[in-house]
């Protein structure tokens, strides 16, 4: 008996050790690429090209940040990215919250609730490449190519279904009794939504907004097609523009790429409790 127990305890120790070892390896594999782009952004060109690679920047410099953000218009790109992300988030969260609430609370004739939910979700599945040609021709026709409004409209197409589904799942988690109590106390149906349900759903609202910001901030393909100049080009387009057939500006793209990642990492930590739900469009509640 005793020998069995020690053996199983030994096995448990081994399992634990291998688990912690795996976590360590996973952490290194996860963080090294991020570290590497950061490290390269602080190196002089000659050190970026060093063989063997310089694992720690020996002569750290802000040269590439100056090149990208002061001499080249990366600050402008970042501002465009932010404005577009904020615009589409405002639209998507406002209308998505109302629609999500309606789909979570109200009943509709002819199974509309199910049909509409399903249809909204399916619009989210539509690959952006499929809509670039009509969107391009459409914006061209209305002379809106190369504007931030065009980007906001295009991004709303995939952020709005996302926001609707997220908010639907948050409202479904709230007990309906509180709203009923408010109505019994004389509040209107809209008032019950505005004064009771909405404040309770605030954490979900914040998480949804942050996810919309992240999705827009990261978007590349639609921006590539719709924008032409720095007046409306977003950060990913600016970065891709410094990878040319003849030369890649390694330092510059490292600096800009790293700066593009910083807000995202901060956001990831803010929404960490909501990550599962956000990434599964509200389908899995973490």
Cβ atoms of 176 and 201 closer than 8 Å: no
CB of residue 70 to another protein, shortest distance in Å:
20
Taking CB under 8 A as the binding criterion, the range among 2-10, 14-22, 61-69, 144-152 that sits at the site for another protein is 14-22
188 binds another protein (CB under 8 A): yes
Among 180, 194, 195, 231, binds another protein (CB under 8 A): 180
- Name the minimum Å distance from CB 12 to another protein: 10
- Do 226 and 133 form a contact (C-beta atoms < 8 A)? no
Q: How far is the CB of 231 from another protein (least distance, A)?
A: 20
Q: What is the total count of residues that contact another protein (CB under 8 A)?
A: 108
The DSSP secondary-structure symbol of 273 reads G
Q: Which of residues 239-268 bind another protein (CB under 8 A)?
A: 239-240, 243, 248, 250, 253-254, 257-258, 260-261, 264-265, 267-268
Q: Answer yes or no whether residue 156 interacts with another protein by CB under 8 A.
A: yes
**CB-nearer residue toward another protein: 1 or 185:** 185
Q: Does 79 bind another protein (CB under 8 A)?
A: no
Residues 24-63 that bind another protein (CB under 8 A): 26-27, 29-31, 33-34, 36-37, 40, 48-53
DSSP alpha helix (H) spans, the chain: 2-41, 45-48, 63-65, 74-105, 112-125, 128-141, 148-173, 177-184, 189-192, 198-200, 202-218, 221-226, 235-241, 250-270, 275-279
- Phi, psi values for residue 248, rounded to 5°: -110, 125
Under a CB-based contact definition with an 8 Å cutoff, are residues 187 and 195 in contact?
Answer: yes
11 binds another protein (CB under 8 A): no
**Greatest pairwise CA separation for the chain in angstroms:** 82
Q: How far is CA 188 from the centre of its chain?
A: 35
Q: How far apart are CA 91 and CA 103, in angstroms?
A: 18
| 140 binds another protein, rule: CB under 8 A | yes
Using CB under 8 A as the binding rule, whether residue 235 contacts another protein is answered as yes
**Selected range binding another protein among 56-64, 70-78, 178-186, 197-205, rule: CB under 8 A:** 178-186
Q: How far is the CB of 201 from another protein (least distance, A)?
A: 14
Asked if 136 contacts 224 with a C-beta cutoff of 8 angstroms, the reply is no
Window 264-283: residues binding another protein (CB under 8 A): 264-265, 267-269, 272, 275-276, 279-281, 283
Query: Does 199 participate in binding another protein (rule CB under 8 A)?
Result: no
Look at residues 232, 234, 233, 252 and name the one whose alpha carbon lies nearest to residue 244: 252
Is 226 within 8 Å of 150 (Cβ atoms)?
A: yes
């Amino acid at each position: 008996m005793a020998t069995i127990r020690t053996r199983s305890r030994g096995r448990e120790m081994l399992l634990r050790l291998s688990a912690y070892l795996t976590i360590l390896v996973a952490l290194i594999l996860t963080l090294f690429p991020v570290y590497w782009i950061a490290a390269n952004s602080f190196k002089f060109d000659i050190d970026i090209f060093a063989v063997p690679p310089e694992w720690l920047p020996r002569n750290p410099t802000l040269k590439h940040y100056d090149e990208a953000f002061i001499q080249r218009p990366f600050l402008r790109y970042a501002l465009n990215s932010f404005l577009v992300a904020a615009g589409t988030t405002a639209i998507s969260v406002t209308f998505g919250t109302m629609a999500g609430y309606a789909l979570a609370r109200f009943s509709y004739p002819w199974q509309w609730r199910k049909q509409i939910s399903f249809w909204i979700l399916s619009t989210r599945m539509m690959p952006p490449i499929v809509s670039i040609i009509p969107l391009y021709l459409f914006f061209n026709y209305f002379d809106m190519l190369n504007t931030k409004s065009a980007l906001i409209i295009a991004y709303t197409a995939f952020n709005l279904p996302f926001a609707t589904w997220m908010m639907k799942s948050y409202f479904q988690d709230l007990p309906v009794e509180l709203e009923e109590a408010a109505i019994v106390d004389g509040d209107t149906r809209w008032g019950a939504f505005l004064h009771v349900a909405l404040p309770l759903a605030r954490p979900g609202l914040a998480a949804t907004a942050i996810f919309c910001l992240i999705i827009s901030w990261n978007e590349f393909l639609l921006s590539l097609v719709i924008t032409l100049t720095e007046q409306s080009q977003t950060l990913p387009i600016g970065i891709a523009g410094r990878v040319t057939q003849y030369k890649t500006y390694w330092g510059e793209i490292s600096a800009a790429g790293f700066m593009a990642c910083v807000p995202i990492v901060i956001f990831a930590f803010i929404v960490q409790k909501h990550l599962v739900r956000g990434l599964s469009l509200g389908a899995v509640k973490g």
